[in-house]
Every structure is written in structure tokens, then in C-alpha cells.
Chains A and B, each alone.
Chain A
Amino acid sequence: MTARTLDRVFHTRGLTKVYDTGEVKVYALAGVDLELFSGELTVLLGPSGSGKSTLLNILGGLDHATEGRVWFRDLELTNLRDRSLTRYRRDHVGFVFQFYNLVPSLSARENVQLVTDVAPNPMRPEEALERVGLAHRMDHFPAQLSGGEQQRVAIARAVAKRPEILLCDEPTGALDSKTGIQVLDVLKHVNEDLGTSTVVITHAAEIRKMAHRVIWFQDGKIANIEVNETRLEPAEIEW
């Protein structure tokens, strides 16, 4: 743990996000202090509305906190303007969502190219697709791919720029468990082979067993943090 402390990718202090609808104030995050470490695969668990996604969005530079502060390494994200956040996302962050959000008019390879064309130090699109086991489907369009395949293209697109962090919001939410396991397997390999710090939000609690650390959320706060001494292979997980 000590080595990791020295090498933390994110830390937050009193992170708070309030949605003010005029009549009521909803605390999506209520003063979260958190540290995430380099090379770690972290799973965020918790009921709907507990603040997981809000946290992920703030870490990924998609949203601003109402109060508190957040750092990516030495870079404070808290008050970055839109242009700098875009730059930050472009250089450091990969996203995977429940719905794959591929561009339907671009083939698998071209979807990955979207990222490799603008990233400073990308891998070849073909290499990214090989990593997710889709070397043979590179010239297919999203409509010609299954859900699992589309999600793997999305992961390939996310990791092709060699991001330091990969943020996944319910990556298996729209998939059956068999396909889901394939996707998790890809995430695990990316984490291990490329050393990408990975955060996965899920509703399927079993998935926590493949993580280094599991963070439980409740009512916008961290309820519990659990460290797995032994981790399961995705293939061993069932949900």
C-alpha cells in the first residue's frame, strides 16, 4: 500500500455535488474524501443515486463539483475551464459507458481512429482492436456487430490512446452475463498489460471480486472500502 500511496492518480477533499432543482436540494455527493492509485482496478458499488456516477463524471472531467477539490496527480481539476477539461480528457482519460456510443457511420477501426488521430501517443487502431479480440471484425460497422463486440470496440477506442485512467460506467449493464464476462476479461487485461488505472461502476456486486479495491457508496458518501487480498478471474464470476 505504501508504494501506492506515493503513486496516487486521484485524490479528492470534501467533494460535494448538489443538484438544486429550486424546491429541493439533492446531494449527489456529500463531502467525499477519496484516493485512487496507479495501476489499480477499483470497483464502485452502491444503490442507484448513491453518487457513483457523479463521482466518475467529476473524475473524468465531464462535470464540476459544487464544493470540495479534486486532483488528477498534481493537476487540480476543480476549477478547470471547459477547454482545459477537454484537453485533460483527450490526453489522460478513457471512458466506457453502458451504451457503447459508437459512431454508426464509422467502422470499428475508424471508431478507434477517431481517438488515435488526436492522441499524442496512441497505439495503432489495429493493435487496440487485437487487444479486445476483434482483429477479424475491424472493418465492420457498429450495426454489423453484436452488443458485446460493440462494447469491446468501445473499450478498444478508450484504451487506444494509452490513457492513464479508464472510467467504466456499467460496462456490462446492457449485456448478458456470458458476453459481460468477455468484456470484463478485456478490462482486466488492459489493466494488467498496460497498467491503466481502472474504475468500474456496476450494479452486479459479484464483479467486485475481480477488483483490487471495492468502494461502497451510500447517500453520496463512501460507506465502506474493502481490499481484495485474492482476486477472481472474470471467468470465475457469475451473476
Chain B
Amino acid sequence: MEALDRKLLRDFRRLWSQFLAISLVLAAGVAVLLMSFGMSGALEDTRTTYYERNRFADIFVDVKRAPNMLLDIIRDIDGVASVEPRVTTYATLDIPDKVDATVAYVASLPENGTILNQPILRIGNWPQPTATDEVVLNAPFGEANDLWPGDAFTATLNGTKRTLTVTGWALSPEFIYTIGPGSLTPSDEDFGVVWMPEQALAAALDRTGAFNNLSVKLRPGYRIEPVIDELDILLDPYGTLGAIDRTEQVSNAFIDAEVTQLQTLAYKLPPIFLGITIFLVNMVIGRIVALERAEIGLLKALGYSDATILMHYLLLAGLVGVVGVALGYAAGSWLSFELAKLYADFLKFPYLIYSVSWNIYLIAGLLGLIAAGSGAARAAWVAARLAPATAMSPPAPPRFRTSWMDRILHAVHISQPAMMIVRSIIRWPVRAGLSILGMALAVGILVSSNFFPDALDLIIDTAFYQSNRQHAVLFFNDEIEDRSVIEANRLPGVLQAEGQQVMTAVLRYEHRGKRTTIEARQPGMNLSRIVSTTGEVVDAPPGGIMLSERLAKQLGASVGDVIEAKFLGVHKGTHQLPVTQLVTQYFGLGAYMDQTTANRLFQQDARVAIVNVTLDPAHDEAFQQSLKELPRLGGRAMLSENRAGFEETISRNILITTTIYAILGTLITVGVAYNGARIQLSERARELASLRILGFTRGEVGFVLVGEIMLLALLAQPLGWGIGWGVAKMLTESYTSDLYAIPLVIKPSTYSSASLIVLTAALASVLVVRRKLDRIDLVSVMKTRE
């Protein structure tokens, strides 16, 4: 090993704490990059493989009832590769020893085996095609309810109770993410999928020779839209709810959203860490070069070339880069694998395909090294260009000049140590500015990651406590007469019941169209209310349609415009409806009509599809039992369980993400504050020592060191809040989808806890450096010429 290399390693060892602080910031960037790409890649790869192996369909349609003879016509549509008709329904299950009525989506298993959306059998066997009472459950549901092969339960199918026996458990690409009707969070215990042989289910539902659900797979290279259009026309007479592609399929849409979020993370966070790395390396290597001027001069006098000197300092930064990248690789690989496993578990994939491409490692590694290298470039260049004679003489002292600031400083009568702090900041504005920016980014990261709980609090309050005040929602497979609400009112434990009608329709305005559901409601409903984001309770005015603002925006329609509503399903027909009002909401693409207006439109008596009820908890068991007996019930959502489930899921996720972001924010702050203070100490050792000799106490001298960094940290706070607010606004916009809008709410406590974390981390870093100041040898510092 050459002497210069030895110097390199020793310098690295001597300054290990500073270099480690930088390496950790860099490692965080590399790890986040690997983690988000690793996880999103694993999700996408696993999903893609799963879809291919199990032939996940491209188009999905629900109809009221269509004859099987249509299938040949559908198969002949240009581009259609395969078609699978099914009979499906929602049913209430009565599981032995379980108080709550449970909801399941029951789907038929074709006689000759499934060709699309093929479930994978996990345990047990498939039912005999001719069996009338055998079913397979989706595995998580079976597990959550302890229903094993051989166990039996009761299901109400088309008003008739039937005892069914479990023959096995399966997983399906169609139900990677399952969510019950009316629920906001998945619950394996309350909602499941049941597969039943086609003959038996069709007979039970009176659909022999007909289907009500269709999956279609296209040949490669064919466009989806023309096929969807043809299907809509073809199935229109049979009460189609409109064909949808994968983007609207619930399970798939959810995974899309997850992948997008992970990728957003990958593009937004790592650049911040790499940027801060560049700044820190620049600051530290710059200082080292300044301190080693004489040595550089000596090396040059000895005959070392400019290129060797340049490489020497680049390599020093390179070591920081290597350590950072290595730490980042380790942390990123571990985190990404562990989190991908969590995902796979949560999402019920039958397997996990986890392979982070070496490309990602290569890119992450290169970015890390480039960041470290470019940070050192300026200082290394300065070192290489130093003329030996100049290098060996001491550098010119920093030039301070009187400026307009001085008049202000004198006017406010600040102490001389405070003056030293202010002058130093003014003298090196770029460094001070970047330090402020670095710590502000840390604050911003914390604010923008922690605002989600604030936003969710508001969403939960609006969704659960302002809008949906019912305890349970009862769904019916078909619309029922309005007077059934009175029957629901007679169920045990029911205190109050209100019904509403729900219709599927395609709304069109000019060339834009959107498939959505329209709720028809009586004015003044008390249990399920329409609440705007400003907290107002609104009713749909009679004589037209009220749209949620998000839907109106997608249609390009506003109040007064007349839109076309093509109703699907039971109420076929196209009607022209004036937009009477807009309402701003967090959830969904809601559209609302006055019940009387709807009745007149469809020339019907009042009908309902949903009954909302409030319950007396003392009669819960009797209520649940009565649901199991209710013939036409398609499902029920217990909102109190929903609330608890939602809040539990959210708070668990929030704890994880908050912890991760707190660590990231702390790493940045420590990197900036610790290095800032070390450099201060190195530059000002003489000044600070001379203050001690003049009779200043350790505390007073420490104030100069601690004061500057803490002043910068304080100045960083408002900027950080601003950055956090801006990033949060960007995030709310990028996460806003058809399903929901995230409100931009940031509570004061979010700002203050972000600031508290950053200020504490900064103070702790500076105090570590202050201990070095306390131990400084006054005499030797004063005796040496810098």
C-alpha cells in the first residue's frame, strides 16, 4: 500500500463519525430506492405471474340475467379469446357458533372446470360437479372462520336456507384483495368468497341456462374499448351494469394504487437524500482540503501530480459513498424483502415472486457514488489546482466587512457572541442556506408523512360520524318494496330504519361519460346523510340530479347543465337530467336524486335496495340471528366493526410509517447538524479558545457553537413547514382517485412534533460536538498558527 493510500484510510478512520453521519444519509436514500422499487417490483411481478398462470380476465360484466345462447355471439366478437359465464350472488351465511351473520360472494364453478380467473386449490378437494351441497371457500375466509374441509354451515340462497359442506380452500387472482359490500376495509372474518358447482348454484338461484356474470379474455394485441362497447350493446336488453376493464376491478385497482404509491415514494424521497449527501460531502471535504493546505503543498513539492491529489480527495469521498451504498444495500434489501412478505401476506398471494433486478442495485449504487463524488468534486479540484507555494502559506483570513446588516445589529444591541453567530451566517450565506434547507427538508419529510393521520381523522369523522350514522347497512340482492323498511324496523334490536334506492348508470355530458351509482333518497334522512367537506348536510333537490364535485369535474358539467343518464340493470332507460346542485365529498363519485323524482322517472312505487338501521346493542344476538333468517338479504355491513377495523388498520400502518419517517428525518438532521457543528468547531477552535482565555465560561463559549446551528435549525422550521405543506398538497393531489380525495389538513401538532424531532436531533448532535469543545486544550490551540 502506498503512503498516500495509507493517509486516505487514516483520514477516513480519524473522521469516522462525520463520515458515518453522511453515509447514513446516503444509505437512507439507497435503502428507500431499493425498498420502494423492490416492493413495487415484487407486487407487480407476483401479480403479473399470478394473472398469467391463472388466466385473469380482461373484461368483467354483471348483468341481471342473460341467456347462455348469447355466449356464442360474444365469442365471435373480434378480439375475444375466451369467455366464462358464471352465476353469482351475495348471500348471508350462518356459521355454527358464530353470532354475527356473515356475508359471502357466491360464484359458480363451471362444470368443465374454470378457464378464466382460475382459483388455486390450497387444501382439500374441488366439489363434485354434480354435488348440490359442496363448496370451496377462499382460504383467508376459511381460516378466519375456522371452517375446514368437512365442516358445514348454512347459507340463504334465493330465500332458501341450505346447508353446505366445505371441501377445500382456494385462492383466486380475482380476489387478491377482498372487501365486502358497504365496507371500507377488508375483513376476512366478515366477508368471503364461496365457489359452488354451477348446476347446483344455477338451480338454487333459478338461473339454469342463464348467467349474470361474465369474464372475457382478449387475444393479445386487441384493444379493450371496442369489445366493451359491443358487450354493452349486446347485453343492454339483459340488464347489464356495464362492462369494466381491469382498472375498475376492485381487487386489481387496489393493487394498482399500492404500486403507484410505492413508485411515488421511489421517485420523490431518494433525490432529497442524495442532494443532502452532496451538500454534506462538499462541506466536509472542503474543510479537510482547507485544513490540509500545507500538506497538499508538501505533496506537490514532493512531485505528486494534480491528478493524484484530485483522486486522493475523490477517493476519500468515494469511501463515504461505498460505506453509504453498502449500508443502504443491506438495509434496503432486508426492509424490502420483509415488507414484501408483509404485503404478500396481507394481499393473499399464493406465492411471492421477489427478485430485485441487479439493475436497481446498480442504479442505486451508481447514484450513491456519483452523489458522494460530485459532492467532493469542487474541493478536490481546488486541492489539485493549489500552487505548492500558495498551499504552504496560510490561507487568507476570511474577510468580514461592515454592511447595512451591521447597523441593524448594532441598533438591536446584541452581545458579541451573538454577533459572532450572525456574522458567520452572513459571511457564509450559501453554507448557512444549505444547512437551513437540509434541516427544512427533514421537517418537510416529517410533516408531509405525518399529515395522513390528520387527514384520515377528518375522513373518519366525516365518513363514520357525520355521514354514516347507522349501525348497520342491510343490502338486498334485488330491489324490494318500500314497505319492507317497516319490516326491517320490526327486526329485534332495530331502533330506527331508513331505506334508499341504489342504481347503476352511465352519465354522459358532451363527449365525456362515467359509469357510477346513483342513490335515490328521501329528503331529511337521518342515518345516512350527504355531508359536504364544509360539514353541511345536504339533500338532493327534486327535479334533477345532484353530483359530487369530483364527478361533475370528470364530466365537465356544472349546475344547470342537462346530462344524460343511461340506467343499467333493473331500471333500463335513458333520461335527461338537469344538474341541480354540486356537493364536495371525500369519498367516491356520488350522484344523488330525490326519491320522489326517481319514482316519477321510473313510474314506480317507492323501492329500496339498502336499509340503514340503528341498533340496541343489548339485542345484538337476536338481531344477527334474524338476519340469518331474512330471505332476500344479500349482505350486511356492521359499521361499528368497520370503524374499528378501519381505525385499527390505519393506526398500525401509521405507527410503522411514522417510525420510518422519524428515523429518516433524524438521519438528515444529524447529518447536517453534526457535520455543521464539527466544521464550526474546526474553523473556530482558536476563536472559541480565545474566548475561554478571555474569561468566558464553557457555557458562554458553547453558546457560540450551539447557538449558530440551533439558530439555523430554528430558521429551518418555517421553511420546513412550508415544504411539508407543499409536499402534502402534492401528495393529496397525486393520491386523489375516483375512490377518494384526501383532504389537506395538517394539525398544529403535526408541525410541532416534526419540529420537535428535528430540533431535538439537532441539539443532540451539537451537544456531542460541544463535549469536544469542552475538552479542547486551550494552550495548544492558541500556540499554533492555523
Contact = CB atoms under 8 A, between A and B. Distances in A.
A and B held together in a complex:
yes
A86 B419 contact: no
A143 B396 CA distance: 8
Contact of B420 (A91, A93, A106, A118): A106
B698 A82 contact: yes
Interface string A118-152: 11000000000000000000010111100000000
B778 A117 contact: no
A101 B399 CA distance: 15
Interface in A159-185: 169, 174
Contacts of A89: 693-695
Nearest to B774: A82
Contacts of B420: 103, 105-106
A87 to B, nearest CB: 7
Contact of A97 (B424, B692, B783): B783
Interface stretch (A37-45, A107-115, A205-213): A107-115
Contacts of B424: 105
Interface string B674-698: 0000000000001101111111111
Nearest to A88: B695
Contact of B402 (A63, A98, A107): A107
Interface string B537-568: 00000000000000000000000000000000
A86 B423 contact: no
A95 interface: yes
B401 A104 contact: no
A141 B401 contact: yes
B687 A95 contact: no
A90 interface: yes
Interface residues of B, number: 34
A157 interface: yes
B398 A103 contact: no
B427 interface: yes
Contact of B423 (A83, A90, A106): A106
Nearest to B424: A105
Contacts of A169: 783
B425 to A, nearest CB: 10
B696 A105 contact: no
A27 interface: no
B697 A105 contact: no
A118 B415 CA distance: 10
Contact of B782 (A83, A101, A113): A101
Contacts of B779: 53, 57, 62-63
Given A105-B423, A113-B416, A86 B687 contact: no
Interface in B385-444: 396-402, 415-417, 419-420, 423-424, 427
Nearest to B694: A115
Contacts of A53: 779, 783
A61 to B, nearest CB: 9
Contacts of A141: 399-402
Given A86-B696, A89-B694, A101-B782, A139 B416 contact: no
B785 interface: yes
A99 interface: yes
B493 to A, nearest CB: 75
A31 to B, nearest CB: 21
Given A105-B424, A143-B396, A86 B695 contact: yes
A73 B384 CA distance: 56
A149 B419 CA distance: 22
B424 to A, nearest CB: 6
Nearest to A111: B416
B690 A62 contact: no
Interface centre among A60, A114, A141 (most CB of B within 10 A): A114
Given A97-B782, A143-B399, A105 B419 contact: yes
A114 B397 contact: no
Contacts of A157: 694
Given A103-B687, A106-B416, A143 B400 contact: yes
A104 B695 contact: no
Contacts of A110: 416, 419
A99 B785 contact: yes
A110 B398 CA distance: 16
Nearest to B423: A105
Nearest to A93: B695
A79 B424 CA distance: 37
Contacts of A105: 398, 400, 419-420, 423-424, 427, 687
A231 B689 CA distance: 35
B695 A143 contact: no
A90 B687 contact: no
Contact of A95 (B398, B693, B784): B693
A95 B689 CA distance: 12
Contact of A90 (B402, B419, B696, B783): B696
Interface string B766-786: 000000000000110011110
B416 A117 contact: yes
B15 to A, nearest CB: 24
A165 B396 CA distance: 33
A169 B779 CA distance: 11
B397 A104 contact: yes
Contact of A62 (B401, B693, B785): B693
Contacts of A174: 785
Given A57-B779, A63-B779, A141-B401, A106 B693 contact: no
Contacts of B423: 105-106
A235 B500 CA distance: 109
B682 to A, nearest CB: 15
A82 B402 CA distance: 36
Contacts of A90: 694-696
A114 B420 CA distance: 10
Interface centre among B402, B690, B696, B778 (most CB of A within 10 A): B690
Contacts of B695: 86-87, 89-91, 93, 115, 118-119
A72 B424 CA distance: 38
Contact of A83 (B689, B693, B694, B697): B697
Nearest to B422: A105
Interface centre among A62, A104, A110, A115 (most CB of B within 10 A): A104
B415 A117 contact: yes
A235 B583 CA distance: 94
Contact of A114 (B400, B427, B691, B697): B691
Contact of B686 (A101, A113, A139): A101
B250 to A, nearest CB: 65
A118 to B, nearest CB: 7
B685 to A, nearest CB: 11
Contacts of A107: 400, 402
A114 B416 contact: yes
Contacts of B693: 60, 62, 89, 95, 101
A86 B697 contact: yes
Nearest to B398: A104
B690 to A, nearest CB: 4
A208 to B, nearest CB: 22
A169 B693 CA distance: 13
A143 B397 contact: yes
Contacts of B698: 82, 86
Nearest to A82: B698
B397 A103 contact: no
In the A-B complex, list the 3 residue pairs whose CB atoms are closest, starting with the nearest.
A90-B695, A105-B423, A101-B690
20 contacts: A53-B779, A53-B783, A86-B692, A86-B697, A95-B694, A97-B783, A99-B783, A103-B420, A105-B398, A105-B424, A107-B402, A110-B419, A113-B416, A114-B416, A114-B694, A119-B695, A141-B401, A141-B402, A144-B399, A157-B694
Interface of A: 53, 57, 60, 62-63, 82-83, 86-87, 89-91, 93, 95, 97-99, 101-107, 110, 113-115, 117-119, 139, 141-144, 157, 169, 174
Given A62-B693, A107-B402, 8 more contacts: A86-B697, A93-B695, A103-B690, A104-B398, A105-B427, A106-B416, A115-B695, A144-B399
Interface of B: 396-402, 415-417, 419-420, 423-424, 427, 686-687, 689-698, 700, 778-779, 782-785
